[in-house]
Amino acid sequence: MADPRFFTVAGPFTLARLAEISGADLAPGADPASEYSDVASLDQAGPGQISFLDNRKYADSFLASKAGAAIVHPDMADKAPAGMALLLSKDPYRAYAKVAQAFYPVPAPQPWVAPSAFVDPTAKIGAGCRIEHGAVIGARAEIGQRCRIGANVVIGDGVVLGDDCIVGANSTVQFAMIGSRVNIYPGVRIGQDGFGFAMGPQGHLKVPQLGRVIIGDGVEVGANTTIDRGAGPDTIIGAGCMIDNLVQIGHNVQLGRGCVIVAQVGISGSTKLGDFAAAAGQAGIAGHLTIGPGARIAAQAGVAKNVGAGETVGGTPAVPQMEWLRQSALLSKMVRRKG
């Protein structure tokens, strides 16, 4: 159970209501009127709680679970402990996400502007926004409705945010046009100069960075991540992208819709990722490349060439994942033979 010091649980909900919320189906024998007061992990759930099984690695926990109900794939239905009510879904994790959102809804912000916040008189602030202590909002900025601007956030002149955005404490946003439902975590840096200069033995000469950062609807940007503005073109983050912590996104990068960028990935300048491409933790992608839609880049891979749609690559320099695994296996074998 989530610590009530930090979380407030809604509910209880009947199983019928949870089926409706999640789009899952009631399994035969499950009582639609039974009530559940919370979500919990398989290990920790009790009779009044609902859990889920998504990763078969945890099948043992499922068999031993005392959860009153669980959301599972239909294939697992006949393995459930006796007395456990089941909701069946082909995507149990997504169904669980909806149920958990129902138990732990994000309340609308309580509209307020902290007396210590500075909002430039020329800025436009939508209805229902909450602006916390020490936040600074620059000239001509436009903030949509119901946004939460965290404490000590700095939003630069002219920045535009859509509705229902969250800007986490101590983050900075400059030279940016941001959609709705964007969640910017604490410490994020958006819109600073890209790393552009003319190198030379007499000293490096700064090149003005004249583009912006454009972020689509529903994007999340993880804590302390940095997204530089374009050098001339814009840096673009497509709708629905999920970006983890400590990621670096260089100037002129374009991410399509729904890309998943895991922690500490670096994407160099002017590289483009297609829709739903994904890069696992600490991967690096060189500049001026094209990564196709749905491509997958393994953790720590170093990508130096274009990657085709749907391809999976790994290693440094990155090669098709199967080839990389064979390289690793071959090296291991050769060393053992000599050993």
Q: Catalytic residues, which ones?
A: 251
Contacts of 266 (CB under 8 A, 6+ apart): 247, 248, 250, 283, 284, 285
Nearer to a second copy, 40 or 78 (CB): 40
> Cβ(315)–Cβ(298) under 8 Å?
yes
Q: Are 298 and 313 in contact (CB under 8 A)?
A: yes
Residue listed under structure tokens 């390289």: 327
Taking CB under 8 A as the rule, does residue 180 contact a second copy? no
Interface of this chain with a second copy, residues 115 to 154, rule: CB under 8 A: 116, 118, 132-134, 136, 140, 150-152, 154
Give the number of C-alpha atoms closer than 13 A to the C-alpha of residue 95, restricted to the C-beta side: 27
Tell me how far apart the alpha carbons of residues 156 and 31 are, in angstroms, rounded to a whole number: 55
CB of 29 to a second copy, least distance (A): 26
Q: To which H or E segment does residue 86 belong?
A: strand 85-88
Any contact of residue 338 with a second copy (CB under 8 A)?
A: yes
Residues numbered 8 to 37 that lie near a second copy (CB under 8 A) are: none
Q: Which of residues 188-247 bind a second copy (CB under 8 A)?
A: 189, 192-193, 195, 197-201, 203-208, 210-212, 218, 220, 222-224, 226, 228, 232-233, 240, 242, 244-246
- Which of 13, 36, 62, 103 is close enough to bind a second copy by CB under 8 A? 103
Q: Which is nearer to a second copy, 35 or 275 (CB)?
A: 275
By CB under 8 A, residue 305 contacts a second copy: no
Binding mask 59-98 for a second copy (x = CB under 8 A): --------------------------------x-xx-xxx
Query: Would you count residue 107 as binding a second copy (CB under 8 A)?
Result: no
**Per-residue CA distances from 73 to 27, 47, 92, 99, 307 (Å):** 11, 20, 6, 15, 33
φ/ψ of residue 202, rounded to 5 = -85, 5
113 binds a second copy, rule: CB under 8 A: no
